[in-house]
Amino acid sequence: MQCKKCSKECMESELTNGFCSDCIQKYGLTSEEIHYKKNHLAGIIKSLVIVIIVLGCILGFVGIVLNIAIGIAIFVATFISALLFSSIAEIIQLLEDIKNK
């Protein structure tokens, strides 16, 4: 197998979650960095979900003032969009976790 950092060929028993002992010492990898790597794209999408919820609530309240049906439609669309995007972010993170094993 290869080290995830330097691509050095090592025996599987010499690797700690995909990293060789040389890279662990050389780069000062902490146990948290070795065991878990957070995907930045998933974090960006989760931040986008928060923005969608905030903007959707504001637009929903404005829509209710204009017409109650429009306001409810905006709230439902916001809920569905937020749910979809948060699911995609979770899938991306789970795939990253599988890749890092």
Q: Is this prediction's pTM over 0.85?
A: no
- Measured CA to CA, the distance from residue 90 to residue 83 in angstroms comes to 11
Contact 82, 53 (CB under 8 A): yes
1 and 21 housed in the same domain: yes
81 and 46 housed in the same domain: yes
What would the pLDDT profile of 55-72 be if each residue is shown by its tens digit?
A: 999 999 999 999 999 999
Total domains, the chain = 2
Q: How many degrees, rounded to 5, is the angle at CA 95 between CA 90 and CA 101?
A: 130
Note down the domain range covering 18.
1-30
Judge whether residue 94 has pLDDT over 60.
Answer: yes
What would the pLDDT profile of 9-58 be if each residue is shown by its tens digit?
A: 777 766 666 677 777 767 666 555 555 556 788 888 999 999 999 999 99
44 and 85 housed in the same domain: yes
- Measured CA to CA, the distance from residue 46 to residue 74 in angstroms comes to 20
- Measured CA to CA, the distance from residue 81 to residue 28 in angstroms comes to 41
43 and 89 housed in the same domain: yes
59 and 96 housed in the same domain: yes
